[in-house]
Amino acid sequence: MPKTDALQGSLDLLVLKILSRRPRLHGYAIMTAIASTSGEVLRAEQGSLYPALHRMEEAGWIRAEWIKKDTGRRARIYELTAAGKKQLGAEESRWQSVSLAINRVLREV
């Protein structure tokens, strides 16, 4: 699954941000949340969402839990950990500096 670091980084950032605002979401809800809050501009590619979630879980940024849904099926919901909050801060400031830099380049040209 080839993917550039910037894209992967931004997916992490989006997921962490969504989870910081609305804890305890399952994968599908995270995906729709990204789409709706970005005004349907950003769409998390479905194929990379779960590997990203699992990677962040192994890194200890988010924590997963099985719950029973109304339909009787189980769903796996995620929430932010303390380490995740710190990571979110770092990702946000990185994003800020990158976008600032890109904007500056755009203005100059």
Q: What whole-number distance in Å separates Cα of residue 6 and Cα of residue 17?
A: 16
Min separation Cβ 3 and another protein, Å = 11
80 φψ region: left (φ > 0), alpha (ψ -120 to 50), beta (else) = beta
Min separation Cβ 58 and another protein, Å = 5
- Chain residues binding another protein by CB under 8 A are 1, 26-29, 32, 46-47, 50-51, 54-55, 57-60, 69, 71, 73-76
Min separation Cβ 26 and another protein, Å = 7
Q: What whole-number distance in Å separates Cα of residue 15 and Cα of residue 30?
A: 7
Helix, strand and coil content of the chain, in percent to the nearest 5, comes to 60, 15, 25
Whichever of 21 and 28 has its CB closer to another protein, that residue is 28
Min separation Cβ 93 and another protein, Å = 24
Helix (H, G, I), strand (E, B) or coil at 75: strand
Whichever of 13 and 29 has its CB closer to another protein, that residue is 29
Whichever of 37 and 95 has its CB closer to another protein, that residue is 37
